[in-house]
Amino acid sequence: MHRAVPQGDQTAEVSLERLHYGKLASGATLSVPAAAGYGVTLRSHNLQASDDRLLSPPRLMALRRFEPDLVDPAARRRGAFLARVSPEPDSRRAIFLRARFRPEDGEDGHGRLYQQSAVWSVAASDWRRHPAALLAMAGSELEALPDLASEAECVRFSAAPARYVVRMLDPQDVWGALEDALDKSHWAAPTLEFLARGAETGEDATLTYGADDFASEAAFLRAVGLALQFLPASYPRWREICVVSGLRHESQGLCLRYLPSLRAAARTSVAA
Partner 1 sequence: MTERLSICLIGPKKGGKSSLLASLVDCVAQSAFGYSPRLRPALQPVTESEFYAEGVEPKKADLLMVEQGDYERLRRDFAEGGVATDTLDTYEYRFRLTVNGEAPPAVVLRGPWLLEIIDSAGEIAVPPDGAEVAILNDVKAKLAKQMLDSEAIILVLPLVRLEDSGWSGNLSRLIDRLALAPEKKLKRLVVVFSQYERLFARFGPSAFTYACDPAVALHVLRKSLRAVQWLDRLRALETPNGGVSVRFTVCSAYGFVKRFQNPNIDPHQPGERRFRRAGLEGARAYNEYWRPFLTAEPFLYAALGHDSAFTFSYAQLDARMEESA
> Which spans of this chain sit near partner 1 (rule: CB under 8 A)?
21, 23, 34-35, 37-40, 49, 52-53, 56-58, 64-69, 101, 103-105, 109-115
Task: Provide the minimum distance between the beta carbon of 109 and partner 1 in the complex, in angstroms, as a whole number.
Answer: 7
Question: Judged by CB, which is closer to partner 1: 155, or 182?
Answer: 155
Task: Provide the minimum distance between the beta carbon of 102 and partner 1 in the complex, in angstroms, as a whole number.
Answer: 11
Task: Provide the minimum distance between the beta carbon of 45 and partner 1 in the complex, in angstroms, as a whole number.
Answer: 15
Give the DSSP per-residue string, the chain. Answer: ------BSB-EEEEEEEEEEEE--BBTTTTBPPTT--SEEEEE-TTS-GGGTTTT-HHHHTT-SS--GGGB-GGGTTT-EEEEEE-SSTT--EEEEEEEEEEETT-TT--S-EEEEEEEEEEEHHHHHH-HHHHHHHHHHH---PPPBTTS-HHHHTSPPPEEEEEEPPPHHHHHHHHHHHHHH-SSHHHHHHHHHHHHHH---EEEEE-TTT-SSHHHHHHHHHHHHHHS-TT-TTGGGEEEEESB-SPPSSEEEEE-TT--TT---EEE-
Question: Judged by CB, which is closer to partner 1: 67, or 212?
Answer: 67
Question: Judged by CB, which is closer to partner 1: 112, or 263?
Answer: 112
Question: Judged by CB, which is closer to partner 1: 49, or 264?
Answer: 49
Task: Provide the minimum distance between the beta carbon of 112 and partner 1 in the complex, in angstroms, as a whole number.
Answer: 4
Question: Judged by CB, which is closer to partner 1: 10, or 46?
Answer: 46
Question: Judged by CB, which is closer to partner 1: 49, or 233?
Answer: 49
Q: What's the distance, CA 93 to chain centroid?
A: 13
Other CB atoms closer than 10 Å to residue 92's CB: what's the count?
A: 10
- Angle between helical axes of 188-201 and 171-184 (0-180°, round to 10): 110
Task: Provide the minimum distance between the beta carbon of 58 and partner 1 in the complex, in angstroms, as a whole number.
Answer: 6
Task: Provide the minimum distance between the beta carbon of 37 and partner 1 in the complex, in angstroms, as a whole number.
Answer: 4
Question: Judged by CB, which is closer to partner 1: 18, or 23?
Answer: 23
Task: Provide the minimum distance between the beta carbon of 272 and partner 1 in the complex, in angstroms, as a whole number.
Answer: 17
Question: Judged by CB, which is closer to partner 1: 43, or 93?
Answer: 43
Task: Provide the minimum distance between the beta carbon of 110 and partner 1 in the complex, in angstroms, as a whole number.
Answer: 3
Cβ partners under 8 Å of residue 172, min gap 6: none
